[in-house]
Structure 1
Amino acid sequence: MPTLPSLSRRRFLGAAGALGAAATLSVPDAALGVPDAAGAGVGASGSDVTPIAWQSLGSYPGTDAAGGRVTAILAGSSRYLIGPWYAGTYTRYLPDGYIDLKGTDERAVRLPAMAAVAAATALTTGTYDPRTLSAANATIRTRNLIRTLAARHRANNADPATRWGNGWQTALWAYYTALAGWLFWERLDTTERDHLATLLAWEADRLTTGDDVHLIGTGGDQLYMTRRDGTVVTPGDSKAEEDNWSAAALSLAAVMMPRHPNAARWTRRNIELLLAAAACPQDLTGNRTINGVRLSTWLQGTNIADDGTLQNHARLHPLYMVAFDQSLYQGFVFGLAHRPAPRAALHNINRTYAALVEKPFPLPDGGTTPIYRADSAEIHYPEGNDWGTHFPFYFGNFDLLVTLTGQDTGIHPAAAKWERLHNEAQLTLMSRFPDGRTYGATGENTYYGREHRIGAMAAQAYLTLFLARNTTGNRLRWR
């Protein structure tokens, strides 16, 4: 692995261009809050974490065609996020020494967490492009994001005005924050490491309180759109995405802290949520068992149809079909620790991918087309797309993961063809701008975290490539 730029052990250094004249700051440690009881479990500290043993993982040259495309996407996106976006967003430190996140909602927490994943991956793997900001300053900024996000989680912060956590989507934010921190572990101090372990364990413990119907506890959010008896609990709103992003936090907790007293609980709940995410009606019958879970007995509902499609935002929605990328990322998470990922992460991926590539849908002129238009990067949205017009990398990212995990068996054309078409279209979008970003007009992608989403996907796709096409052999394994 390439060596990261040296970083002073002084805790707060202002990167050039980020804070103007405040180039060097010496700031007291942040006060530590006392987490509330819910989800606290037995707690965790940095000493519970097993760091990534980079020296034993070999390397990935990135010289294959798909690798070249993903490397370029990651390099551009991370350069934009930790460069112009960071400089324009974080202009001051607060009195306790952390940058001002400007809130506790998705925009304030998820976006910098995704940016941190992109930048930490690029810097750690040597794919960072320093043409407009040195790697040393990019490292300082990335650490600022990680340490601030971790310190502001409610497990480490008693101030209700600045703390985040214990919300519908916060397991995903915790996953991004902790993943960036794990990748950057050698550049963090003891307090920062403790904060990361504590927040991840807190969110993971919260998720283990659920059962085979409910995500958390015995009420509230459920695991399924449709119950076993056919009752539709959340019309037009599959729970697949919520299940698999919650599983992501559990998987990372189990991998980062394998000797933690709750690691077995996190591992089991991860498997359960992966299976629930991709459950279809056919899974409710038969004798199939995956990772010790008998599907017909444990599953109490479904989230996708037998044909592999799913609904979200009250429509059949291809963008949420490829949101199973979050399940497939578990390959690299476990691979970084030399461990096989659960087979549950692959459940029904082939079924969903076949629905993208092969299932015909009617066209207004009387013809039909699959969601993937023949020999084109264009996507057909059978019931429209409420998120905008330009999403090639959402699909190219999924195509790559399907290729690397072998989930396109029996599907034609194969996923590698679609990866090329979609990711070349992504690079064409990026070529319009010199700063590495993807999007122009708001209508191209209306999500306010659109650039951050590209960066987080590119980072995780690159890490999957790193494990799959490593100089020491394919390290993506499934049990």
Structure 2
Amino acid sequence: MFDLPPLSRRRFLGATSAIGLAGALGAVSTGTASAADGNSVVPINWRSLGSYSGADDAGTRVTAILAGSARYLIGPWYAATYTYYLPDGYIDLRGTDERAVRLPAMAAVAATTALVTGTYDPRTLSAANATIRTRNLIRTLAARHRANNPNAATRWGGGWQSALWAYYTALAGWLFWDRLDATERDHVVAMLVWEADRLTTGNDVHLIGTSGDQLYMTRRDGTVVTPGDSKAEEDNWSAAALSLAATMMPGHPGAIRWTRRNVELLLAAAARPADLTGSEIINGVRLSTWLRGTNIADDGTLENHARLHPLYMVAFDQSLYQGFVFGLANRAAPRAALHNIKQTYAALVDKEFPLPGGGTSPIYRPGSAEIYYPEGNDWGTHFPFYFGNFDLLVSLTGQDRGITPRAAEWERLHNTDQLSLMSRFTDGRTYGPNGENTYYGREHRIGAMAGQMYLTLFLARNSTGNRLLWR
């Protein structure tokens, strides 16, 4: 029986069939599909990508994190959050803000990744029912975007963070492409195209248009535009939407613009003072003449929330995820995604910071999963997977060369600590008291990172060879 809320069985529209977990990677359709506005999405050709067992040490840890997180999000969290269908057949998002949109979009990334790669754990919810729930998240989020929804009271999009929400939703949709009907596919495309086109209106100073949100914390002349608030994270999450649009729809008329703007935002995100006077050209962009400012210091550190903030240093994970996004399409990601990652990672591992009682310590405490926050952490106390995720990305992309200890050693420490947090619960969640992580989407953030990390591992340690390529 399909898993439907008791009050709404009669309102369910378009149930999908169960996913066969045996040979899941080879079971996905490789045919093309018609997209909105006459554009075509190129589905993921899983057969051409080989396979990944996940049996290596890092893979075993990430698989366990993804399986647990996806089981929690599409199981207990979904059941408690979405209890009925609206008259139009969609679930009730109960708002248009970050809590209402970003959280289910992140949950969808975790669930789709687990389901299509065969890592889903069905012990408390069958794969068939998890598929229905996951499809509900994708189709509802896409349908409620302003590109598809004229109702101002229920639509989202066009906001400061909405490019990231569209990225998560569209990524989940791409992974689940053969499980979506024609209307749902059109909605996913219209949503992503709308957000990507909006981002191409910016210039070398502003994220969008010629005013408003800027690309840099500090201007070229030294003026601090947003004290204590680097624009690195906004730039690289916006770049994520552009990269996905260009990869899913390489034949779209906007693909050239999306590709160029993606590179620009990646470079702006990691821009440091040394880039303003150097001679480096990356993906056709001369840094010294195009950049109008900086977001990180020459030593790789950055500020956010009015402090030097390690959690925002590892937010460059969003840049490194571009390796798997392009890899799923058998394409090389732009070299711009790797820019200055090594400097930031060295600042986590090797740079010494003053201790309150005297002496110094690096952010990564030697031989320990403990993190030192030189100016405090306003988000809570426990974030091992935020760092373990970044460690593994750095290791897989070779951005730890010359840094000691190497990133793989830190990944083991941090992700083992993450599994210890998860072992306290039976439903797959990570966190207990809110003080451990005060973000209301803390479980969803774990799921989204785990999904994207697993896909990166899949491309890097594939049976056909390493598919993480950079041009």
What TM-score results when the alignment is normalised by the length of structure 2?
A: 0.94
8 Å contact kept, 2:309–2:373 = yes
**Matched residues, number:** 452
Following superposition, the deviation at residue 48 of structure 1 comes to: 1.5
**2:18 maps to what in 1?**
none
CA–CA separation in structure 2 for the residues paired with 1:59 and 1:26: 35
Inter-CA distance 227–47: structure 2 relative to 1 (3 Å threshold) = closer
For residue 216 of structure 1, what is the amino acid of its counterpart?
I
1:334 maps onto 2:320 in alignment: no
Give the one of 429, 453, 456 matched to 1:461: 453
User: Mean Cα displacement is larger for which, 359-368 or 454-463?
Assistant: 359-368
8 Å contact kept, 1:46–1:194 = no
Deviations 1:226-246 (A, max 9, x none): 000000000000000000000
**2:182 maps to what in 1?**
190
8 Å contact kept, 1:46–1:196 = no
**1:473 maps to what in 2?**
465
CA–CA separation in structure 2 for the residues paired with 1:371 and 1:227: 27
**1:97 maps to what in 2?**
89
* Gap regions ≥5 residues in structure 2: 16-34
CA–CA separation in structure 2 for the residues paired with 1:271 and 1:76: 34
* Gap regions ≥5 residues in structure 1: 1-13, 30-42
**2:315 maps to what in 1?**
323
For residue 5 of structure 2, what is the amino acid of its counterpart?
L
CA–CA separation in structure 2 for the residues paired with 1:364 and 1:303: 27
Give the one of 72, 78, 84 matched to 1:80: 72
Q: Report % sequence identity.
A: 81
8 Å contact kept, 2:229–2:304 = yes
**1:307 maps to what in 2?**
299
8 Å contact kept, 1:393–1:423 = yes
User: CA RMSD for the aligned pairs?
Assistant: 1.3
8 Å contact kept, 1:44–1:201 = no
1:288 maps onto 2:280 in alignment: yes
For residue 304 of structure 2, what is the amino acid of its counterpart?
N
Give the one of 212, 215, 225 matched to 1:223: 215
8 Å contact kept, 1:15–1:23 = no
Deviations 1:267-326 (A, max 9, x none): 000000000000000000021100000000000000000000000000000000000000
Inter-CA distance 45–77: structure 2 relative to 1 (3 Å threshold) = farther
1:438 maps onto 2:424 in alignment: no
8 Å contact kept, 2:11–2:87 = no
Q: How does 1:95-174 map to 2 (within 5 A)?
A: 95-174=87-166
8 Å contact kept, 1:45–1:195 = no
**2:248 maps to what in 1?**
256
What TM-score results when the alignment is normalised by the length of structure 1?
A: 0.93
8 Å contact kept, 1:44–1:260 = no
1:395 maps onto 2:387 in alignment: yes
CA–CA separation in structure 2 for the residues paired with 1:51 and 1:184: 9
**2:5 maps to what in 1?**
19
Following superposition, the deviation at residue 23 of structure 1 comes to: 4.1
For residue 20 of structure 1, what is the amino acid of its counterpart?
P
Deviations 1:427-448 (A, max 9, x none): 0000000000000000000000
Inter-CA distance 255–107: structure 2 relative to 1 (3 Å threshold) = same
CA–CA separation in structure 1 for the residues paired with 2:278 and 2:112: 44
8 Å contact kept, 2:353–2:361 = yes
Give the one of 315, 339, 344 matched to 2:336: 344
> Residue 6 of structure 2: SS of its match in structure 1?
coil
CA–CA separation in structure 2 for the residues paired with 1:374 and 1:336: 36
Inter-CA distance 269–401: structure 2 relative to 1 (3 Å threshold) = same
For residue 225 of structure 1, what is the amino acid of its counterpart?
M
**1:6 maps to what in 2?**
none
Deviations 1:119-178 (A, max 9, x none): 000000000000000000000000000000000000000000110000000000000000
Following superposition, the deviation at residue 28 of structure 1 comes to: 9.5
Following superposition, the deviation at residue 20 of structure 1 comes to: 2.2
CA–CA separation in structure 2 for the residues paired with 1:363 and 1:430: 30
For residue 291 of structure 2, what is the amino acid of its counterpart?
L
Deviations 1:381-440 (A, max 9, x none): 000000000000000000000000000010000000000000000000000000000000
8 Å contact kept, 2:331–2:469 = yes
Following superposition, the deviation at residue 22 of structure 1 comes to: 3.7
CA–CA separation in structure 2 for the residues paired with 1:211 and 1:104: 28
For residue 6 of structure 2, what is the amino acid of its counterpart?
G
Following superposition, the deviation at residue 46 of structure 1 comes to: 7.7
